[in-house]
Amino acid sequence: MKRLAYSILIGAGCALLFFGFSKLLENKREKGLLDVFKTSPSAKTEYYSAELKVGIGSPEDNEKLVEQTKDQILSRLAGSYTGQSFEKLDKNVYRLKANKIFDTTIFKIAITASGKIEFSELLSLNEIYGPISSVDSVLRKRHMVLQQKKLQESKKNPDTSTDKLSVILDQVVPEESPGLARFISFSTGYQDNNGRLRYPADLGYVKTKDTSALNKILTDPENTTLFPENLGFVYGYLGADLYSDDSMLKLFAKKTLDRAFFPFPTGDQIKMAMPEFEPTTGRPMILFEFNSQGAQDWYLMTKRNINKPIAIITNNIVLTAPVVESAIEGGQSRITGDFSFEETQSLCTMILSGELALPATITSAAFKHHSSKKFGLTLIIAILFVVSSAASYGISFLIKPASKP
């Protein structure tokens, strides 16, 4: 009986160890960049089947480009989902079906995201402090003029409501902070190891709910003339919940350069992209490699930006903006950030499939929820328990045969 009891305990111990190890692997999956769009996380044992109506370009677009875009989307989905089918409904409209979808957000992004990847030089706050101050002054003057008009109206019509003017005033710049500080929490400088004053890659932080109003200011013709011609603005995520009123985005100022004078690589020069894990932290990342021309352009770009940041942008979102420590030779580099492993897989397939020939939009979507039963893991644990118990029971006789009666 002791042999049997010990064997059962050994079997239970082996099964418990296996269960703990499986849970440890499962918990390695961390939330990442795309999780900010989710309303609820999906468990590993839950998945969806989908039926979507996808529009590619417009009916006037060339049919070859429509077909090319369809093939690009299929290449992005290949290997990640099952049962994909693309049924043509109209000249540029398709019915897309797929199964085993664990993350609906990543699935939809794989279909609609342009896939454009950019490598851009950035302007720090101290480099564009003059234009930023000029725009800030314009906003303050505009605010002062509107305040004066509001005061004059109230004097002329003391009993007449000026709500309409108040609304206009508040839409332009609210009274409490008439300048850019109303929308941007500007970054502050810091001293590096050599005591030099430096600024972060981003200009500052913006609340998600304020991006629409800020975009109107940054694209206002009266203001754009004050900025350098090669300046553009782009946002980067912080991994916060975008549905929260207080969620924040990073604001970056990127340069638009002439490649003939300032070489930089492009997405179509990437010949390899694969998901990996950072050796020190274990966090998911993307390892990529340029072709020979891209490697040369990447070397020249990093060489002229030593101690400066370079932004890696996809779908007009800054994934990361590391500071260049030295010129990078060989054409290999990596993209790190707040990613999950599923996101790195999706981004890799998107990068390799290239920028979509035509824009794709989802006009309707129906997702059916499924729960896969956990019999797989339970069965493995049960088998492991029986096998390890039986094995230990048999081995006990080899080590110490049963005593004869």
Q: Do 109 and 244 share a domain, yes or no?
A: no
Q: Do 200 and 305 share a domain, yes or no?
A: yes
The token duo for 51 is 């039926």
Residue 42 buriedness (CB in 10 A; 0-12 / 13-18 / 19+): middle
Any domain includes 18 = no
In the predicted structure, residue 377 carries a pLDDT above the cut 90: no
Tell me the residue type at 362: I
Specify the pTM.
0.71
Q: Do 248 and 107 share a domain, yes or no?
A: no
**Residue bearing the bigger pLDDT, 134 or 192:** 134
What average pLDDT does the chain have?
81
Any domain includes 304 = yes
Residue 319 CA to residue 335 CA, distance in Å, equals: 8
Binned at pLDDT 50, 70 and 90, residue 18 comes out as low
Helix (H, G, I), strand (E, B) or coil at 359: coil
Q: Do 349 and 362 share a domain, yes or no?
A: no
Any domain includes 214 = yes
Taking every pair of Cα atoms in the chain, the longest distance, rounded to a whole number of angstroms, is: 118
Any domain includes 165 = yes
Contact 301, 263 (CB under 8 A): yes
Q: Do 173 and 68 share a domain, yes or no?
A: no
- The interaxial angle of helices 63-77 and 104-112, nearest 10 deg, is 150
Q: Do 63 and 191 share a domain, yes or no?
A: no
Q: Do 366 and 244 share a domain, yes or no?
A: no
Q: Do 146 and 192 share a domain, yes or no?
A: yes
The token duo for 164 is 């309409």
pLDDT, tens digit (0-9, with 9 covering 90-100), for 83-129: 989 999 998 999 999 999 988 988 999 999 998 999 999 999 999 99
Domain count, the chain: 2
Q: What is the pLDDT of residue 194?
A: 81
148: alpha, beta or left? (left if phi > 0; alpha if psi -120 to 50): alpha
Q: Do 65 and 143 share a domain, yes or no?
A: no
- Boundaries of domain holding 144: 119-353
Q: What is the pLDDT of residue 30?
A: 44
Any domain includes 92 = yes
